[in-house]
Amino acid sequence: MEAESGVIDRVKRRVAAAKEWGREFVERERFRHRWVDHLIRTVQRYHVREGDRLAGALTYFAFLSFFPLLALAFALFGVIVTFRPDALATLIKAVNAQLPGLAEQLHIDQLAGARAGAGVIGLLGLFYAGLGAIEALRTALRDIWMTSRPKPSFFVGKFHDLVALALLGVIMLVSVVVSGFAAGATGAVAGWLGLGGSVFGEFTVRLAGAGASLLADLLIFLVILGWLIKPDEPLRVVLKGALLGAVGFGLLKQLAALILSGTLRNPIYGTFAVIVGLLLWINLSARLVLYTAAWTATATLGPPPGPTPLPSPAIPDREEPWPDA
């Protein structure tokens, strides 16, 4: 018994020593490198403000607004199909490149044909679910930012949310559709532009699509970080945060195909596979938005909001902290 107790004590001491070494190492790196400290403060802000809970609420309203927005988009696209029938097949291919299986589940060809009814349903649905999603997003951003600025009046707030919804809806649809066309319908688009059969032409279309998608994503995060919350941070900080979010959202859109394809192959979900995959993708997008907001909100040199303070000045052999870039 004494031998076992001695072994346990030695293990505990080594674990405690390892934890102490790790804590000192992290604190030292925070003091030496500004980006390390910023990253830690970002994660702390997200978790202290319960970012996962906020992302869950945002996912609920965003999921409700997704289908009315999609119906409205395809109603508008139905006008294009009237003049260009082959555009429908290209659209379905592009949607499947981004969200596999969604085109079949939603019967896009029928939505495009019934554009009047789909447009009315989409418009009415957006007023309910869309404004709820924007309000949930604004509330989550205020929580992440820990702002004490008073909320606008009801009518001013709803008008503000309506403008944000219109901007985000248009830009997000452009972003997803452009990404889908660039990924899954490069040959068709190149043919429309007279570049069909050319490797250089298809590469140019793919590159232009990726650039346009990145620009659209940048505008999305500028609206989210700059219009919805109206932060006190300088414009350059908001731009950096928007660029970070745009790159992350672009990568997430590329991963969406893997997420949904893996969900579709899971027999547990059955007919709800696309819905489950879509919920997962929306939730990951919501978390990305809130992490980006936390990064932007903690960009200035200040103490983190969490329980861990800034590195202690008593660290031995410290270097000059955070030299100006």
**Average per-residue pLDDT in the chain?**
74
pLDDT in tens, 304-314: 444 444 444 44
Angle at the Cα of 151 from the Cα atoms of 56 and 304, rounded to 5 degrees: 60
- CB–CB of 222/238 below 8 Å? yes
pTM assigned to the model: 0.75
Q: 46 vs 317, which has greater pLDDT?
A: 46
Whether residue 26 has pLDDT greater than 70: yes
- CB–CB of 192/205 below 8 Å? no
- CB–CB of 46/143 below 8 Å? no
Backbone angles phi, psi at 231, to 5 degrees: -75, 165
Average of per-residue pLDDT across 221-229: 89
- CB–CB of 49/143 below 8 Å? yes
DSSP-assigned states of every residue in 247-293: HHHHHHHHHHHHHHHHHHT-TTTGGGHHHHHHHHHHHHHHHHHHHHH
pLDDT in tens, 248-277: 988 887 777 677 666 666 666 656 777 777
The pair of structure tokens assigned to 247 is 């790159």
pLDDT in tens, 172-194: 767 666 665 555 555 555 555 55
Q: Percentage of the chain surpassing pLDDT 90?
A: 18
C-alpha dist (Å) from residue 162 to 118, 129, 207, 215: 20, 12, 33, 22
Helix (H, G, I), strand (E, B) or coil at 153: coil
pLDDT at 306: 46
Q: Percentage of the chain surpassing pLDDT 70?
A: 59
Whether residue 135 has pLDDT greater than 70: yes
Backbone angles phi, psi at 299, to 5 degrees: -75, -25
- CA separation for the pair 102, 70 (Å, rounded): 11
The pair of structure tokens assigned to 97 is 């490149």
Q: 32 vs 243, which has greater pLDDT?
A: 243
pLDDT in tens, 192-219: 555 655 666 666 767 777 787 788 889 8
- CA separation for the pair 22, 86 (Å, rounded): 60
Whether residue 239 has pLDDT greater than 80: yes
Q: Which of 34-43, 98-107, 240-249 has the lowest mean pLDDT?
A: 98-107
Helix 131-145 crosses helix 51-83 at what angle (to 10 degrees)?
A: 140
Average of per-residue pLDDT across 138-161: 86
For residue 316, what pLDDT band results from cuts at 50, 70 and 90? very low
- CB–CB of 115/75 below 8 Å? yes
For residue 25, what pLDDT band results from cuts at 50, 70 and 90? confident
- CA separation for the pair 165, 108 (Å, rounded): 23
